[in-house]
Every structure is written in C-alpha cells, then in structure tokens.
C-alpha cells in the first residue's frame, strides 16, 4: 500500500474515532472506509502510532502531566514538496525548544532537488525562488540537531512528519 494512501486512510480512521468520542470495533472503522464484511486485513495495517488497539480501536491520550517539571520540550514541524512521504522532500524545518521558561526557535528553508508542487507553494506560502538559495538538508540538520538534545519531541502532524523524518537521515 502506497505510504500517502495509507496515511490518508489512517487519517479517515482517526477522524471517525474523534467524531465517535470513544473506541470503536474494527468493523465500524471498516465502514468509515466504505468496506463491508471482514475488514481486519485492511484496517489493521493502517493503525499507526495515533491508535490504541485494545478490545476496540481508540486514539492515544496523555495520561500524565506534560511536560514533567524541568523537562525540555521541542516542537517540530516540517513542510515538504508534496504529500507523499518517501517521494517528496523536506523544504522547511521549524523547531521550538521550550526549557526553563525560555523559548529557543529555529526555522530554516531547505533546498530540495525539485520544486514543490503549486498546491504546496500556495499552502505554505513558500515560493520556489526562496528555496533555490536555501541550505541543503544536511546543513540545516547540523544546525538544528543541538536543539533536540535531551528533550521530549512533540511533532505537529506526527503521522506524516514521522514518515518524512525517516527519510531525513543525511
């Protein structure tokens, strides 16, 4: 199953669970995808880190105070050339480290090997020309890496960005 398609289907499942406000059995999730009959072979592979699988499928919830006192937190957001992790490239890295009442922001555009889609340019407001002079991904990661040290990572749109992060390794 293509990564972008799998991500879209998993997002439909997450939306259905939020609407229900409670865990649902696999057949009910299959219905959310328009499936009838045995659905486990289709639904189960879609259950990424957002989902909690017990007797029924639910969404993870924080069950402890967050962040812990004194804990550094880094919020990460990526922008990519398109919506297909593994095929599209990172074009922007944004981090915000929160520690001891201080905010340490980091933002950099990243030069991709090909331009972002027109849709992504409209969505992000990042014009193709701005990326032509941007540093390489390796240069950006070298500068960003120290901000991640000894911190809990919070990722905006984690299901998508985590797939993109797997491709990041310089």
**Residue 155 and residue 76: Cα distance in Å, rounded?**
5
Q: What is the pLDDT of residues 135-170, one digit of tens each?
A: 999 999 999 999 999 998 888 777 666 656 655 544
Q: Is 137 exposed, middle or buried (0-12, 13-18, 19+ CB in 10 A)?
A: buried
**Average pLDDT of span 57-79:** 80
Q: What is the pLDDT of residues 83-119, one digit of tens each?
A: 776 778 899 999 999 998 899 999 999 999 999 988 8
Name the CATH superfamily for 72-168: Ribonuclease H-like superfamily/Ribonuclease H (3.30.420.10)
- The helix/strand/coil state of 51 is strand
């Amino acid at each position: 199953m293509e990564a972008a398609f799998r991500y879209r289907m998993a997002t439909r499942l997450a939306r259905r669970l939020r609407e229900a406000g409670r865990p649902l059995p696999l057949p009910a999730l299959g219905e959310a995808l328009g499936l009838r009959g045995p659905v486990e072979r289709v639904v189960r592979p879609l259950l990424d880190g957002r989902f909690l699988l017990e007797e029924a499928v639910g969404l993870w919830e924080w069950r402890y105070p967050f962040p812990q006192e004194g804990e550094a937190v880094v919020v990460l957001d990526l922008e990519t050339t398109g919506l297909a992790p593994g095929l599209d490239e990172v074009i922007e890295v944004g981090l915000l480290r929160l520690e001891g009442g201080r905010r340490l922001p980091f933002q950099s555009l990243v030069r991709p090997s090909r331009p972002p889609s027109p849709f992504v340019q409209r969505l992000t407001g990042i014009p193709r020309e701005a990326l032509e002079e941007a540093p390489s991904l390796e240069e950006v990661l070298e500068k960003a890496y120290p901000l991640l040290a000894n911190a809990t990572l919070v990722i905006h749109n984690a299901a998508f960005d985590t797939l993109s992060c797997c491709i990041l390794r310089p």
